Structure 1
Amino acid sequence: MNRRTLAISALLLASSGTTMAADSSPALQKCMDSANTTAAMVGCNAQETKVQDKRLNSAYKTALQAQQGPRKQQLQDVQRLWIKYRDANCAFAGSATGGSIDQVNGSGCVLDMTQTRAEELENLVGP
């Protein structure tokens, strides 16, 4: 196996974790089960990303309100950097093969990272 094949395999293996987000959402799983095209799969990811983005925004607002002093500004800075990182990371994941699966991997990456970040922010303030 050459380096490119290994790199692509590693990315696809890593991005398969993005489809694991489907396990935590029955609506996403149902959508993906009936998706027969790349566009449909991307649409499923986009739909669930909207749900997770609302969750992220709510968790961010709550976490920001719980911070005091310089920690408030630090959280704002971290969140801005995280958004840049997510977008760059998922653009990279979404361009690994040059094939149509890249669209699914890229949108799945955004979904997975958004869901994970929402959980991280929720954990900042506790239950």
Structure 2
Amino acid sequence: MTRTSLTACALLLALCGSASAADNAALKKCMDSANTTVDMVKCNTQQAKVQDKRLNTAYQTALAAQEGARKQQLQEVQRLWIKYRDANCAFAGSATGGSIDQVNGSACVLDMTQTRAQELEDLVGP
């Protein structure tokens, strides 16, 4: 795949609702220097790890703020969300059978994790 094609694919991914480089400076910087599909997947994976740490911190904070049945509900919702994210991103990452699927799948994990971290942070407020 040529650099132009990779760049076009990265732009298309950003426009289709994946983790937008415009919202994530570190991702944008990494993607700007990505020359291959593997490089693009590495960019998404690195940022997904950052967002996963954010998500785990937000989850622990939100869980500590809940009481009784709400605490148990949040635990169950989070378990279900993880299953959904994994299944959804596996589906997104197998759409064409081409190498871009790897980028789509990793971008899906990043985007969904980033969004869920924000949702959990919003549960307890600023």
For 1:26, the equivalent position in structure 2 comes to 25
For 1:5, the equivalent position in structure 2 comes to none
Q: Distance in 1 between matches of 2:109 and 2:16?
A: 13
Contact map agreement 1:64 1:72 (CA 8 A) in 2: yes
Structure 2 alignment gaps of length 5 or more: 1-11
Q: Counting helix residues as a fraction of each chain, which structure ranks higher?
A: 1
Q: Distance in 1 between matches of 2:27 and 2:14?
A: 19
Tell me the CA shift for residue 100 of structure 1. 0.3
TM-score, normalised via structure 2 length: 0.87
Where do 4+ consecutive residues of structure 1 move more than 6 Å? 12-15
For 1:107, the equivalent position in structure 2 comes to 106
CA RMSD of aligned residues (A): 1.6
State the identity %. 78
TM-score, normalised via structure 1 length: 0.86
Contact map agreement 1:15 1:93 (CA 8 A) in 2: no
User: Structure 1: which amino acid aligns with 2:87?
Assistant: A
Q: Distance in 1 between matches of 2:23 and 2:15?
A: 16
Q: Distance in 2 between matches of 1:86 and 1:15?
A: 20
Structure-to-structure mapping, 1:1-127, within 5 angstroms: 16-20=16-20, 22-127=21-126
Tell me the CA shift for residue 16 of structure 1. 2.5
Q: Distance in 1 between matches of 2:14 and 2:47?
A: 19
Aligned length: 115
Residue by residue over 1:61-111, the C-alpha shift from the partner in whole angstroms, topping out at 9 and shown as x without a partner, is 000000001000000000000000000000000000000000000000000
Contact map agreement 2:13 2:104 (CA 8 A) in 1: no
Q: Distance in 2 between matches of 1:55 and 1:14?
A: 21
Contact map agreement 2:27 2:47 (CA 8 A) in 1: yes
